[in-house]
Amino acid sequence: MSRNPVKILHILDSLGMGGMERVVIDVANGLDRNRFSQSVCCISKVGEAAKFLHADVRVIEIGKGEAADRLMPFKIARVIRDEKPDIVHTQNRSGIDTMIAGLPAKTWRLVHSEHGRNWPNIKSEPIKSRIARRLLYHFSDAVFTVSGELADYFCGQTGFPRSRMGVIPNGIDLNRFDQADRKDIRPELGLDGNHFVIGTVARLSPPKDLFTLVRAYANLRLSHSQDDFRLLIVGDGELRSSLQQCVNEAGLSSEVLFTGARDDVPRLLGAMNVFVLASLSEGMPLTVLEAMASCLPVVASAVGALPELVDDGVSGFLVEPENPRMLADRIAAFYNNKKMATAFGAAGRLRVERQFNSEIMIGKYSDLYSKIIN
């Protein structure tokens, strides 16, 4: 006798253009339709990345505003009653309200995942947050993070047993990068074929520390012609105007290109010679995996899970955060040795294929859901 598919309800703040959101989309699209039926609940707004979901994935929007909403647990409880899921999977901050929603009579299994630290508390959580997270973790049927470093951090902050905190690394769909049409992308962006293009893809927000990247670029320019380099910044956020002002004051406005938010990242990566992420804090950034899938050498801060992704001296270089001089030196190493850059890019691609592709990730999600429902 055939069994009905397991119903999964994913809950997160929104489906914006971020890494965690992309993981939820890839899992919702990639799980076996004969075994799983899925819906996604967005607490604040649906978000622009929802268009990537398959048509059979139902999307619910609660519509939370900017202010705190003390009724949110009741609103989530109503969604759960309507959807009747077998499993509710919460991401990051959505877990606390969902835990409260399930206190009266939980008839479903709860999976919770942590995808990164909460800014600005990147070194230590406030005491209220520690207590709430500890309660959430114990209330959950399964809890995991996207990296070993993040699991160590949250267990250290909450006292939750490390042996009970799972790890499922992020993965990406390699087909998106194999099939990307990169033809004419440089002329389209106004870039010359001879430019050495330093690129990043990031939300323009404090944790990404793009000011250090701009300062590193300015350091590079002290010893090179303005025709040698270009800086390509893909993404948008609250610091865009401040970053543009910083670029203008440094006299680099003709050399630094801001594209804003884009949904054709695989094409844009094709315009770059090296990928840089100068973050102060990270979970497991998909943008670095995407750069590696595009055969780009990487220079990244040694924070979060980045040392788990970038094999220092093999597929890229790891640097101290907030150190523009060191960042500039490592970028220059690739400019001065194109053969090394190509070899590092190839090593990064192989690493993603073997450890961080979406098929591996989706398989682990599938195994977890099946285990807790049985």
- A 10 A CB-CB count for 222 gives 7
Closest among 226, 347, 207 to 277, alpha carbons compared? 207
**11 pairs with which residues across the strands?**
41, 90
Q: Please report the pLDDT score of residue 205 as a whole number.
A: 95
SS3 366: helix
Q: Is the dihedral of CA 141, 146, 149, 153 positive or negative?
A: negative
Higher pLDDT pick, 30 / 225: 30
Give the amino acid at 179: Q
What is the mean predicted confidence (pLDDT) over 311-332? 98
What is the mean predicted confidence (pLDDT) over 6-25? 95
Q: Please report the pLDDT score of residue 193 as a whole number.
A: 86
Q: Please report the pLDDT score of residue 1 as a whole number.
A: 40
pLDDT confidence band for 309 (50 / 70 / 90)? very high
What is the mean predicted confidence (pLDDT) over 291-320? 98
Asked whether the beta carbons of 8 and 37 are under 8 A apart, the reply is yes
CA 121 to chain centre: 18
Instruction: Give percent of the chain above pLDDT 70.
Output: 99
What does the pLDDT look like over 75-103, one tens digit per residue?
999 999 999 999 999 999 899 999 999 98
Q: pLDDT at residue 317 above 90?
A: yes
Closest among 18, 26, 29, 65 to 45, alpha carbons compared? 65
**39 pairs with which residues across the strands?**
9, 58
Rounded to whole angstroms, the Cα distance separating 243 from 284 reads 24
- Measured CA to CA in angstroms, residue 111 lies from 141, 149, 221, 232 at distances of 6, 20, 49, 38
Range with lowest mean pLDDT among 41-50, 116-125, 207-216, 254-263: 116-125
Rounded to whole angstroms, the Cα distance separating 49 from 51 reads 5
User: Strands (DSSP E) along the chain, which ranges?
Assistant: 6-14, 36-45, 58-61, 87-91, 109-114, 142-145, 165-167, 196-201, 229-234, 256-260, 274-277, 298-301, 316-319
Which tokens go with 308? 């788990």
Rounded to whole angstroms, the Cα distance separating 15 from 24 reads 9
Q: Please report the pLDDT score of residue 17 as a whole number.
A: 86
Place of tokens 């990068």: 177
SS3 20: helix
Q: pLDDT at residue 158 above 70?
A: yes
Asked whether the beta carbons of 8 and 87 are under 8 A apart, the reply is yes
**233 pairs with which residues across the strands?**
200, 258
Exposure class string for 242-254: b at 16+ Cβ within 10 A, else e: ebbebbeeeebee
Which tokens go with 48? 């622009």
pLDDT confidence band for 113 (50 / 70 / 90)? very high
User: Strands (DSSP E) along 30-116, which ranges?
Assistant: 36-45, 58-61, 87-91, 109-114
Q: Please report the pLDDT score of residue 114 as a whole number.
A: 96
Please provide the average confidence, as pLDDT, over all residues in the chain. Answer: 94
Q: pLDDT at residue 180 above 80?
A: no
Domains along the sequence of the chain with CATH: 6-171+357-373 (3.40.50.2000), 175-355 (3.40.50.2000)
Higher pLDDT pick, 180 / 351: 351
Q: pLDDT at residue 285 above 60?
A: yes
What is the mean predicted confidence (pLDDT) over 22-36? 97
What does the pLDDT look like over 230-243, one tens digit per residue?
999 999 999 999 99
Rounded to whole angstroms, the Cα distance separating 94 from 13 reads 7
Q: Please report the pLDDT score of residue 2 as a whole number.
A: 54
Q: pLDDT at residue 329 above 50?
A: yes
